[in-house]
Amino acid sequence: MRAAFVKQVARECGFALAGIARAVPAAEAAYFHDWVDAGFAGAMGYLTDHRAGVRDDPRHLLPSARSVLCVAKLYNTPPAASADTIPAGHGWVSRYAWGEDYHEVIRRDLEQVVERLRAASPEPFEARICVDTAPLLERAYAQAAGLGWIAKNTCLINEDIGSWVFLGEVLLSLDLDSDVPPPDRCGTCTRCIDACPTQAIVPTGRVPEWALDARRCISYFTIELRGNIPDEHRGGMGNHIFGCDVCQDVCPWNRRAPVTADAAFAPTHFAPPLEELGVLPPEEFRARFRHSPVTRARYRGFLRNVAIAMGNSGEARFREPLERLASSDDPVVARHAHWALGRILEEQTA
C-alpha cells in the first residue's frame, strides 16, 4: 500500500491534513523529559508518571508499528470572536470546546480511515488509533509527518490553515514512505509570548528557546488543576472559564485560517452568560455539557472558574450568586467565591 493512497483516504474521511512519520523514537523525547523535570507539567500526573517513558516510542503502544499516519482536523468556527470581544458578563470557553468532544469525533473518523484501508489492503495489518489521551508525543510526530511546525506557543502551525486543528494518529504495521518536516516559520515574531495574560511562555536558555510553563497557563488552571488557583494569577484569568485561546488569537498565521464545515464543531457553548452558570446544579452541568470537553474541568472546577470570572468582571450584579457560592460546602468553590466578592468590592470602591 502506498503512502499517497493512505493520506488520500484520510482526507476523504474529513481530515484537512495527513502525513506519514516513521514509527521510531521521537527526536523531541529528551526535550519532553527536560520539560517534565523542570516542573512545567504542574500537577498533571499523567504526564509525569510511568507513561512518560512510553511516549518516547510508538512501538510501546503497537510493537509492530512501522509508520504513523498523522492527521489534523480543522475546528475554526464562526463567530470570529475572542475573550476580549464577547459581551460583558459572559464567560470565555476555548474555541476547541464550542462543539462536541473532539476525542469522539476524531476517533470516529479515524475508525473510518482504518476500515477503508483494511478493505483496500491485499494483506492484513495491525493498527492502533490514538487521540491525545494516548501516551504519544503527537505534536512531534505531526511535525515529522510534515503537518506543520511546533511554534513558540507550543501549538502546531500549518502555513496554509494555521493552528486551529485537532490532531490524531494511527499507528500502522505498514511500511510507508515518510514525509519531510517543514521549516519553522515563526521567525522573530513574539506576539504569542507578549500577549499571554499570565506570562506562561517562558525562555528555556536552550533549543527550543521557549516552553510552556503549565503552572502559569490559564488553560491549565481552568481545565487541569483540581484545587486552588494561585492568587497572583486569578486576576490575569479575566473572563476565561474553560481554556484560553489568546496565544492563537494573536498569531499571524491564523489571520486567514479557513473555517470548518464539520457540524460537530458548531458553537453550541460559545460565550455563555455567567449568571446562568453560577447557579447550575450538578445534574444540569452534566446535561448541558454532555459530549463536551467542558466536563474535563469537573463541576467543582467549573464553578471555581465561573466565580473568578464574576469577580474579574467587577460587576455588582454578581454579588448575590457569589454569596451563594461562598456558602458552598465545597471549600475550593467557597474560597474562590470569597476572593471574587473581594475583587468586586475593590472595583466598586476604587
Q: Which residues have a catalytic role annotated?
A: 132
Residue 321 grid cell? 450568586
Residue 232 grid cell? 497572583
Using left for φ > 0, alpha for ψ between -120 and 50, and beta otherwise, residue 98 falls in alpha
Is residue 16 within 8 Å of 74, Cβ to Cβ? yes
Residue 79 grid cell? 463567530
Q: How many CB atoms lie within 10 A of CB 256?
A: 9
Non-local CB neighbours of 203 within 8 Å, separated by 6+ positions: 209, 210, 211
| β-sheet bridge partners, residue 93 | 242
Q: What is the DSSP letter of 242?
A: E
Instruction: Please give the single-letter amino acid code of residue 107.
Output: R
Instruction: Please give the single-letter amino acid code of residue 341.
Output: L
Nearest partner of 241 among 201, 266, 273, 197, judged by Cα: 273
- Rounded (10°) CA dihedral 154, 304, 78, 199: -30
**CA distances for 38 relative to 42, 47, 112, 314, angstroms:** 9, 13, 40, 36
Q: d(Cα 207, Cα 216) in Å, to the nearest integer?
A: 21
Non-local CB neighbours of 169 within 8 Å, separated by 6+ positions: 68, 69, 70, 71, 129, 130, 134, 136, 138, 141, 142
Q: How many CB atoms lie within 10 A of CB 342?
A: 12
Task: For cell 504495521, name the residue.
Answer: 173
Task: For cell 482536523, name the residue.
Answer: 73
Q: d(Cα 108, Cα 165) in Å, to the nearest integer?
A: 16
